[in-house]
C-alpha cells in the first residue's frame, strides 16, 4: 500500500490510536506540520488568508515563536520515528511538510501590513489558531475529566464535524459580512443614541451580565423556534445529528443556521450599543461555552448548574431520551429554561444516547449541507 493510500485510509478511519507504535506521536507531528505549513502561507498572503479583526489583536512575533517551536517539535518527533522505524510513512509526510515550510521561509517570513482595505479573504489564521488552541485545551480537559472514558479522540463521524469546523472557519469573512449587513439593514432603525450612551456608561460587570442575558434570551427563543417550526428544524437537525459529544461536536452546524442565529443574536447587541470591551469579552465567553458545553467532560458545578449552562445541561439537549426532547435551550444561563418550563427533569445524571430520533440526517458535510432542502429523509 502506497503512502497516499495509507494517509487516506488513516484520515477515513476512527477509533483509538494504538500506543507504542509511533502512531499517536506521528499524528501529533503531522498535525503540527500541517498547521505550520498553513501558517507560512498566511504569512506570505495575509491580505487573502487572514482575518482583519484578528490582525489587530495578535502579536506577530508571538506567532513566529509558536511556529518555530511547532516546527521543532514536529520535526523532532518525525525524525525520531523515522530513525527508529515507527510509522515511517506518516513521519515522512510530517517531515516533508516541515521542510517545505522552512523552504518557504518558515517563521522568518516578512509580513507586509500595507494592503488595500476590504480585500476578500478566508479565515485561515482563525482556523489555525482555533484548531491549535482547541486541541491543546479541550482534548487535554476531556482526557483529564472524561465523561465517557472509552470514547476515543477520533470517534465515529469525526471527519464530518472536522469538515464543518474547517468550512465554518474559512468562510468567517462571508459570515461576518452577511450578519453585519443584515443587522444594519434590518435593525439599524432601532438604534438610538440615548439608549446606546446609557448602556456604554454602565459599569463593566453589569454591562457584561446584561449583554450575555440579552443575547441568551434571543438565542433561547431562536433556538426554541428551530425545534418547533418544521422548516427551521430541517436546518437545526444537522446540528442535532451528532451521535458523540466532544469539543468538535458543536462545529456541526448548517451555514444558514449560523448566519440566521448570529444575525438575530447580534441585533440587540448592535441596537443597545455595548462597548467594544464588553463585546470582546462576550465573544470569548460564547466561544468557550460553545465548545466546552459539547465536550466529553463530567462537570456539573453543583448548585451552579441551575444558573449556568454546563456540559451536563447541554448534553441533555442533544439526547434522544424521551424526557430530553425539546428541552434545555439556553446557551449561557440555565435558569432561563427553569423559568420558561423547558428544563429537563430526570432521575438520571447523564443521558443515554445522542442524535436525532430516527437517525434520518445523512452523514457527510455536503449531504448535510443539502439535507434541509430535500423532501425525503
Q: What is the pLDDT of residues 173-194, one digit of tens each?
A: 777 777 877 777 777 776 777 7
Average confidence (pLDDT) over 227-243: 96
Tell me: pLDDT of 223 over 90: yes
Q: What is the per-residue pLDDT for 3?
A: 62
Q: Are 146 and 302 in contact (CB under 8 A)?
A: no
Helix (H, G, I), strand (E, B) or coil at 297: strand
- pLDDT bracket for residue 170 (50, 70, 90): confident
pLDDT, average across residues 55-80: 90
pLDDT at 377: 45
Number of C-beta neighbours around residue 43 at 10 A: 24
The stretch 50-55 carries a mean pLDDT of 82
pLDDT of residue 10: 64
For 79-123, the pLDDT digits (tens) are 999 888 888 888 899 999 999 999 999 999 988 777 776 778 888
Q: Counting Cβ atoms within 10 Å, is residue 305 exposed (0-12), middle (13-18) or buried (19+)?
A: middle
Categorize the per-residue pLDDT at 254 as very low, low, confident or very high, splitting at 50, 70 and 90: very high
**Ramachandran class of 350: left when φ > 0, alpha when ψ lies in -120 to 50, beta otherwise:** beta
Residues 6+ apart with CB under 8 A from 214: 268, 269, 272
Phi, psi of 363 (to 5 degrees): -90, 155
CA–CA gap between residue 101 and residue 95 (Å, rounded)? 10
Q: What angle do CA 327, 328, 332 make, to 5 degrees?
A: 160
Residue 86 grid coordinates:
515507527
Most confidently modeled of 88-97, 247-256, 263-272? 247-256
Tell me the C-alpha distance between 174 and 161, whole Å: 20
Can you give the pLDDT at residue 245? 96
Amino acid at each position: 500500500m502506497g503512502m497516499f493510500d495509507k494517509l487516506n485510509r488513516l484520515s477515513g478511519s476512527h477509533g483509538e490510536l494504538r500506543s507504542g507504535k509511533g502512531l499517536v506521536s506521528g499524528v501529533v507531528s503531522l498535525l503540527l506540520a500541517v498547521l505550520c505549513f498553513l501558517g507560512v502561507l498566511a504569512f506570505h498572503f495575509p491580505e487573502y488568508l487572514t482575518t482583519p479583526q484578528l490582525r489587530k489583536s495578535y502579536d506577530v512575533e508571538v506567532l513566529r515563536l509558536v511556529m518555530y517551536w511547532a516546527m521543532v517539535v514536529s520535526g523532532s518527533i518525525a525524525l525520531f520515528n523515522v530513525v527508529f522505524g515507527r510509522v515511517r510513512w506518516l513521519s515522512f509526510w510530517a517531515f516533508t511538510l516541515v521542510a517545505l515550510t522552512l523552504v518557504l521561509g518558515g517563521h522568518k517570513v516578512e509580513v507586509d501590513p500595507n494592503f488595500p482595505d476590504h480585500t476578500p479573504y478566508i479565515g485561515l489564521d482563525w482556523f489555525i489558531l482555533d484548531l491549535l488552541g482547541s486541541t491543546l485545551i479541550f482534548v487535554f480537559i476531556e482526557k483529564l475529566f472524561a465523561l465517557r472514558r472509552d470514547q476515543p479522540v477520533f470517534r465515529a463521524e469525526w471527519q464530518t464535524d472536522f469538515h464543518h469546523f474547517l468550512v465554518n472557519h474559512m468562510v468567517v469573512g462571508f459570515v461576518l459580512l452577511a450578519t453585519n449587513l443584515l443587522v444594519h439593514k434590518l435593525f439599524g432603525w432601532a438604534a438610538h443614541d440615548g439608549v446606546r450612551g446609557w448602556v456604554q456608561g454602565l459599569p463593566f460587570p453589569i454591562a457584561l451580565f446584561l449583554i450575555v442575558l440579552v443575547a441568551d434570551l434571543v438565542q433561547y427563543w431562536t433556538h426554541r423556534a428551530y425545534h418547533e417550526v418544521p422548516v427551521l428544524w430541517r436546518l437545526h437537525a444537522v446540528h442535532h445529528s451528532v451521535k458523540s459529544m466532544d469539543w468538535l461536536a458543536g462545529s456541526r452546524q448548517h451555514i444558514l443556521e449560523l448566519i440566521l442565529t448570529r444575525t438575530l443574536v447580534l441585533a440587540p447587541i448592535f441596537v443597545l450599543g455595548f462597548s467594544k470591551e464588553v463585546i470582546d469579552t462576550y465573544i470569548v465567553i460564547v466561544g468557550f461555552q460553545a465548545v466546552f458545553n459539547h465536550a466529553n467532560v463530567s462537570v456539573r458545578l453543583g448548585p451552579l448548574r441551575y444558573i449556568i449552562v454546563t456540559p451536563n445541561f447541554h448534553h441533555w439537549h442533544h439526547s434522544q431520551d424521551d424526557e430530553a426532547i425539546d428541552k434545555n435551550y439556553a446557551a449561557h444561563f440555565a435558569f432561563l429554561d427553569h423559568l420558561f418550563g423547558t428544563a429537563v427533569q430526570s432521575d438520571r445524571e447523564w443521558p443515554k444516547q445522542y442524535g436525532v430520533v430516527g437517525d434520518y440526517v445523512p452523514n457527510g458535510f455536503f449531504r448535510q449541507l443539502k439535507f434541509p432542502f430535500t423532501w425525503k429523509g
